[in-house]
Structure 1
Amino acid sequence: MKPMLPSLSFDIPKGKEWLYEVKYDGFRAILYWDKNEIRLESRNGKSLLELFPEIRFFLEKNKKKVAPFLPLTLDGELVFLKNAYKAHFGSIQVRGRMRSEKRIAEKAKSSPCRLLIFDLIEINGKRVMNEMYLARKAQLLSFFEQCDLPVKPDEKSTKLVQMVPFYNTLDEIWEKVTLYDGEGIVAKQKSNKWEEGKRTPSWIKCKNWKYAACFITSYEKSNGYFYVGVYRNQTIIPIGQFIFGIKPDEKKALAQIIKENKTDEDNQFIYVEPAICVEIKYLEIYEEQMREPHFHQFKFDLKPDSCTYDQFIQGQKNLPPDVGITHPNKPLWEDPPIQKIDFIHYLREISPYMLPFLKDRLLTVIRYPHGIFGESFYQKSCPEYAPDFVETRMSDGINYIVCNNLKTLLWLGNQLAFEYHIPFQTINNHKPSEIVFDLDPPSREAFGLAIKAAQYIKEVLDQLELIGFVKTSGNKGLQVYLPLPENTYTFEETRLFTAFIANYLVSKEPESFTIERMKKNRGDRLYVDYIQHAEGKTIIAPYSTRGTPEATVATPLHWEEVNEHLRIVDFQIPTALKRINNLGDPFHQYFAAKEKQKFQPVLDFLKK
């Protein structure tokens, strides 16, 4: 079956007859499911389940729930979901090219993809293609609810088949799509029918375009493409080529100008000096080139020297104007060299992984108004000049910031808040949401003690069938997390466990570990601070940057990385996002583990 396809438009349709869905960048996929077989096919009819075994496993695991609705045909997009509004194109492309079963299995486990369903074609063997969109969507919603599946995309959910909802107005969704750097939206007429293989005007895709100012460098004779570049210092950096979007008469005139002003020519290209500036709209940067570039306009007011690589990189982010980014080129770190705009971009890209840990927590930040080159200070109370989108909560006479949205995180970044420290409980209760062991050696040179302590703790957790996660502190130690079900255990109860682990470590190697409170009596041993896990105390948030000379990040780790080769300085701002794209997020199962944690039997034993 060939899927129905949307038509591209640069103008978003509006009116009562239109509804809106988020458009996700992945592989179009149609799911066929009957009593004997499950198939997931691409728009070209190729099977996808072999490449994405996590989807097959999830579907088979839910056979009983879905059985009453078979035969079933669903239309959707197979994606690597970064947040509720954006899928990561590069990650799904890498998965699609994999052929090693072992490598596929590793990626399926560490970085599972999701199947986002936006339309219903068949249910209970009944074709519903000719029913109106709203009727199909209502039946789809009912199916998802009855099968206990997510009715909106959620990158944290372990339920890998999720529904794409619609929105009644463009304003409801467009700001979120641009803020979270999504691909765009699809506007759909309420009365549309699902028409096989048709590119229809009743589905209109509108993309979240970025804009690049660049200059023309060459013309390809065989196909009419114009190649463009930007300057980095005095070097020309190629960023792509375009042919679409330019009018036929403009294209003809531009080609003639290039021929008349050529500096060189070979069998394939005609070359020119940088002189003609244009503005190109494109979707995103992929492998250092523009994706889906379209000519937007000539920029006769620009000189080639104004078309720079830095502006090209900054322009792709579409940062919200009400955040108010100031002094973007201000240097914050020297080695690696990081400017303020680089730091803001890091916060934006890491936000899907970091914001869940900041959500509903009283936030303490450490600000560096002069970057790493000057003094820092702690800030707990929200300043009076904070914008309206910054949420706050009063506690003990302090009006704390609660960072529940991306805008707040970016605003804090603009305030040069480098470090984000959070308590162990949320604002909704006084009980801990997790147990954290802060393994802080006496110096960076003694980091091996933290590695050894984490390995011993992991052995105990495995024996007790407890689920633990580990991250660097970003400074000189490691931190081991045990997620707990919300509002269940008291700090007094969790201290029974932290004290048990601390005493176990000391008994295991008294020459390496201590619970001695007095620094002068610790010697070169690692202090196991089980008392620090208490109400009101804080810990550095996962993926928070640190105010260290090396621009380190408090980085979640895979347990197999906790070995003698581990080094804190290997986890810096420039490499953090590449690491997630390559290895996945080691904390991606963190919140799902809360309900699976077998902590009660351990606690019952310790209470005896």
Structure 2
Amino acid sequence: MKPMLPSLTFEVPKGNDWLYEVKYDGFRAILHWDHNEMSLISRNGKPLLNIFPEICSFLEANKEKLKPYLPLTFDGELVFLENAYKSQFSTIQVRGRMRSLSRIAEKAKASPCHLLIFDVLKIKGKPLKNEDYLSRKKTLYDFFKKCNLPLMPDEMNTKLVQYIPFFNDFNEIWEKVVLFNGEGIVAKQKTNKWEEGKRTTLWLKYKNWKYVSCFITAYEKTNGYFYVSVYQDNMVISIGQFIFGLKPDEKKALFEIIKANKTDEDNKYIYVEPAICVEVKYLELYEGQMREPHFHQFRFDLSPNDCTYHQFIQKQKNFPSDIDVTHPDKPLWAEPSIQKIDYIHYLQEISPYMLPFLKNRLLTVIRYPHGIFGDPFYQKNCPEYAPEFVETEMSDEINYIICNQLKTLLWLGNQLAFEFHIPFQTTLSKGPSEIVFDLDPPSRDAFGLAIKAALLIKEIFEQLELISFIKTSGNKGLQIYLPLPENTYTYDETRLFTAFIAQYLVTKDPASFTIERMKKNRGNRLYVDYIQHAEGKTIIAPYSPRGTKEATVAAPLYWEEVNEHLKVENFQIPQMIKRIHNKGNPFHTYFEAKEKQKFGPILEILRNKNLPSL
């Protein structure tokens, strides 16, 4: 079955007969499932389930729940979700090229992809292609709701088959697509029918273009492509080639200019010196080249020296109109070299992984107005000059910032907030939302003590069947998390457990660990601060930068990474996004674990002082 395809538009389709869906960048996929066989087929007719076994496993695991709806045929997009409005093109491309079964299995576990469904062609064996769009969407929504599957894309949700909703208001959804750097939207007429293999004007794709000023360096005679580049330190850096977007007269004139000013020519190319400046729009960078570049306009007001790689990179991210990044070139760290715009880009890219931990938490930040080169200060109270979109909540006469949205995070980044510290509970919870063990050695040279303590604690947790997560502190220690269900336990109850674990470590290895509060009495031992886990106390948030000279991050880890080779300084701002794309997010099942945590029976044992033999 060939899928129905949207047509590209450069004008926003508006009117009461149009509805809007987020467009995700992945592999178009049609799911067929009858009582005996399941298949997931790409736009080009290629099978996908063998390359993405996590989708197959999820569906098989939920077969009993879904069985009443078979046979079914769904239309969707197979993606690696970066956030609710953007998928990561490069990651899905790498997955699609994999052939090693062991490597595929490893990726499927560490970085699972999602199947996002936007249309239904058959359900319970009944064909729906000839029903109108709104009727099909209602049927699809009812299916997802009854089957308790996600009703909108969610990168943190381990239910891998999710629904793509529609929106009535273009501006509402477009603002989010731009803010989260998504690919674009698909506008669909309410009454459209699903037409197999047709590129239709009843579906229109409107893309979230980026723009770059560049200069032409060559013309390819065999296909008519114009090659463009930018300068980086006086070197010419190729960024791609374009052919689309030029009117016939513009294309002819440009060719004549290149031909008249050529510096060299061979069988394939005509070459020119940097001189002709143009503005090109494109989707994103992929392997150093522009994806889907289109000519936008000539830039006769620019010289080639204005077309730099630096400005190209700066414009990679779209920022909301009410976020004005001031002094983007301001140096914040020396080694690695990080400017303010680099830092803001980090916060935007890390936001899908960091914001869930900031949500509904009273936020304390440490600001570095002069970067790492000057003195920092703590900020709890929201300043009076904060924009209206910044949410706040009063607690103990302090008006705390609540960072529930990307715009607030970007604004805080522009205020040069480097560290994001959060309490152990949300504003909606009456008790701790998690237990955190802060393993803080006396110095970074003694980091091995934190590793030793973490592995001993991990052994205990495995015996007790507790689900734990670990991250670096970003400074000199490690922090172990036990997610807990909300509004279930008190701090007095969790203190029984933290005290028990601390006492166990000290008993196990008194030469390495201590619960001594006085620093002068600790010697070179690691202090197990079980008292720190209390109401009003805070911990550095996962993925938060730290104000260290190495630009380190409080980085979530996989437990197998916790060994003698682990170093805090290996997790720095410039490498974190690449790490997630390559290795996945170690905390991606964190919130799911809250409801699975078997903490109640352990607490009951501690209450009765009938401690297990460890």
Q: Once the 2 structures are TM-superposed, how far is the Cα of residue 429 of structure 1 from its aligned partner? A: 2.2
Q: Once the 2 structures are TM-superposed, how far is the Cα of residue 268 of structure 1 from its aligned partner? A: 1.8
CA distance in 1, matches of 2:571, 2:32: 43
Is 1:142 equivalent to 2:147 in the alignment? no
Residue in 2 that maps onto 1:297: 297
Is 1:52 equivalent to 2:52 in the alignment? yes
CA contact (8 A) 1:424 1:538 kept: yes
Q: Once the 2 structures are TM-superposed, how far is the Cα of residue 321 of structure 1 from its aligned partner? A: 2.2
Residue in 1 that maps onto 2:274: 274
- What secondary structure, in the 3-state scheme, does the structure 2 residue paired with 1:524 have? coil
Deviations 1:265-307 (A, max 9, x none): 2222111111000000000011111000000010111111111
User: 5 Å matches for 1:245-260?
Assistant: 245-260=245-260
- What secondary structure, in the 3-state scheme, does the structure 1 residue paired with 2:371 have? strand
User: 5 Å matches for 1:327-406?
Assistant: 327-406=327-406
Deviations 1:388-438 (A, max 9, x none): 110000000000000000000000000000000000000112300000000
CA distance in 1, matches of 2:506, 2:267: 74
CA distance in 2, matches of 1:501, 1:198: 63
Deviations 1:215-246 (A, max 9, x none): 00111111111000011121111100000111
Residue in 1 that maps onto 2:39: 39
Is 1:14 equivalent to 2:6 in the alignment? no
Residue in 1 that maps onto 2:604: 604
Is 1:493 equivalent to 2:504 in the alignment? no
Is 1:102 equivalent to 2:102 in the alignment? yes
- What secondary structure, in the 3-state scheme, does the structure 1 residue paired with 2:28 have? strand
CA distance in 2, matches of 1:508, 1:369: 45
Residue in 2 that maps onto 1:536: 536
- What secondary structure, in the 3-state scheme, does the structure 2 residue paired with 1:363 have? strand
User: 5 Å matches for 1:184-583?
Assistant: 184-583=184-583
CA contact (8 A) 1:113 1:160 kept: yes
CA RMSD in angstroms comes to 0.6
Aligned residues with identical type, % of pairs: 75
Residue in 2 that maps onto 1:584: 584
AA of the residue aligned to 1:561 = E
Deviations 1:20-62 (A, max 9, x none): 0000000000000110011110011111000000000000011
- What secondary structure, in the 3-state scheme, does the structure 2 residue paired with 1:539 have? strand
Q: Once the 2 structures are TM-superposed, how far is the Cα of residue 137 of structure 1 from its aligned partner? A: 0.5
Q: Once the 2 structures are TM-superposed, how far is the Cα of residue 187 of structure 1 from its aligned partner? A: 0.2
Q: Once the 2 structures are TM-superposed, how far is the Cα of residue 322 of structure 1 from its aligned partner? A: 0.5
CA distance in 1, matches of 2:530, 2:151: 41
Deviations 1:516-559 (A, max 9, x none): 01100000000000000000000000000000000000000010
AA of the residue aligned to 2:432 = P
Deviations 1:63-85 (A, max 9, x none): 11111111100000000011110
AA of the residue aligned to 1:20 = Y
AA of the residue aligned to 2:430 = H
- What secondary structure, in the 3-state scheme, does the structure 2 residue paired with 1:49 have? coil
CA contact (8 A) 1:430 1:535 kept: no
**Number of aligned positions between the proteins:** 608
CA distance in 2, matches of 1:245, 1:53: 40
Q: Once the 2 structures are TM-superposed, how far is the Cα of residue 102 of structure 1 from its aligned partner? A: 0.4
Deviations 1:437-474 (A, max 9, x none): 00000001000000100010111111111010000000
- What secondary structure, in the 3-state scheme, does the structure 2 residue paired with 1:191 have? coil
CA contact (8 A) 1:366 1:420 kept: yes
AA of the residue aligned to 2:419 = E
- What secondary structure, in the 3-state scheme, does the structure 2 residue paired with 1:120 have? strand
Where does structure 1 lack aligned partners over 5 or more consecutive residues? none
CA distance in 1, matches of 2:321, 2:214: 23
- What secondary structure, in the 3-state scheme, does the structure 1 residue paired with 2:262 have? coil
CA distance in 2, matches of 1:356, 1:554: 15
AA of the residue aligned to 1:46 = K
CA distance in 1, matches of 2:400, 2:146: 40
Q: Once the 2 structures are TM-superposed, how far is the Cα of residue 142 of structure 1 from its aligned partner? A: 0.7
TM-score for both structures, normalised by structure 1 = 1.00
Structure 1 segments of 4 or more deviating over 4 A?
none
- What secondary structure, in the 3-state scheme, does the structure 2 residue paired with 1:495 have? helix
Is 1:24 equivalent to 2:24 in the alignment? yes
CA distance in 1, matches of 2:564, 2:518: 29
Deviations 1:310-329 (A, max 9, x none): 11011120111201110000
AA of the residue aligned to 2:599 = F
Q: Once the 2 structures are TM-superposed, how far is the Cα of residue 509 of structure 1 from its aligned partner? A: 0.7
CA distance in 2, matches of 1:445, 1:13: 61
AA of the residue aligned to 1:382 = C
CA distance in 2, matches of 1:187, 1:52: 29
CA distance in 2, matches of 1:147, 1:568: 43
CA distance in 2, matches of 1:323, 1:436: 34
Residue in 1 that maps onto 2:65: 65
CA distance in 2, matches of 1:289, 1:522: 55
CA contact (8 A) 1:380 1:398 kept: yes
CA distance in 2, matches of 1:265, 1:36: 61
Deviations 1:498-524 (A, max 9, x none): 111101111111000000011000000
Residue in 2 that maps onto 1:122: 122
AA of the residue aligned to 1:255 = F
- What secondary structure, in the 3-state scheme, does the structure 2 residue paired with 1:585 have? coil
